[in-house]
A and B are shown apart, each in its own frame.
Chain A
């Protein structure tokens, strides 16, 4: 029944490793997002896809690469992990334009880089 799901929920890894986070939504939404929430609690948009097309690409290191195989899935691959990548990564989805419509968030992936 989960509307937006993410895996894994927790991820502990060492610097330099490559890891992926997966997101799936069963709400029939056509827009999906990746956010990063750091220790100061600011929630910052990283990427957004609408119908599998990249529409938002914030100033994010190119070690981060999103991929949307279809409207219901959005994955995030991170290469060469750094200590500063430690944060909670939230996936979200919405119908059409975020400006007018509610975003539904996944439970988050807590990434710790040691």
Chain B
């Protein structure tokens, strides 16, 4: 089983739609969770951290489900500019400096 696993997509959605996708992680003791965004041929950039209680940043909502070991990202009212690859990132072991990256979920928003 991969340490961090994502549905690669692509998710093709019309502007204004809601899109959501999950990411599973292997270690139940994982402490830190993030969603990064990577545009084509660019560097990854932090989109948002994921907190235990769930958190929202504008049109983006992140949730953590520890029991089932997954995090989710929901994008409401999709914009063309939301088209990107969304990387799930987990600090799998609290005494480890490493972040583990998923392979990414590709979202394409069409006009």
- Where the two chains meet, the residues of A that have a C-beta atom closer than 8 Å to any C-beta of B are 31, 40-45, 48, 50, 55-56, 90, 97-100, 102-108
Q: List 18 A-B contacts (CB under 8 A).
A: A31-B97, A41-B104, A43-B101, A44-B101, A45-B98, A45-B99, A56-B97, A97-B97, A98-B97, A98-B99, A99-B99, A100-B31, A100-B32, A102-B46, A103-B99, A105-B44, A105-B45, A108-B43
In the complex, which residues of chain B have a beta carbon less than 8 angstroms from the beta carbon of A45?
Answer: 98-99
- Where the two chains meet, the residues of B that have a C-beta atom closer than 8 Å to any C-beta of A are 31-32, 34, 42-46, 49, 85, 87, 91, 94, 96-99, 101, 103-104
In the complex, which residues of chain A have a beta carbon less than 8 angstroms from the beta carbon of B94?
Answer: 99
Name B48's closest neighbour in chain A (CB-CB): A102
In the complex, which residues of chain A have a beta carbon less than 8 angstroms from the beta carbon of B45?
Answer: 105
In the complex, which residues of chain A have a beta carbon less than 8 angstroms from the beta carbon of B46?
Answer: 102-104
Name B46's closest neighbour in chain A (CB-CB): A102
Which of B31, B32, B44, B97 meets A43, CB within 8 Å? B44
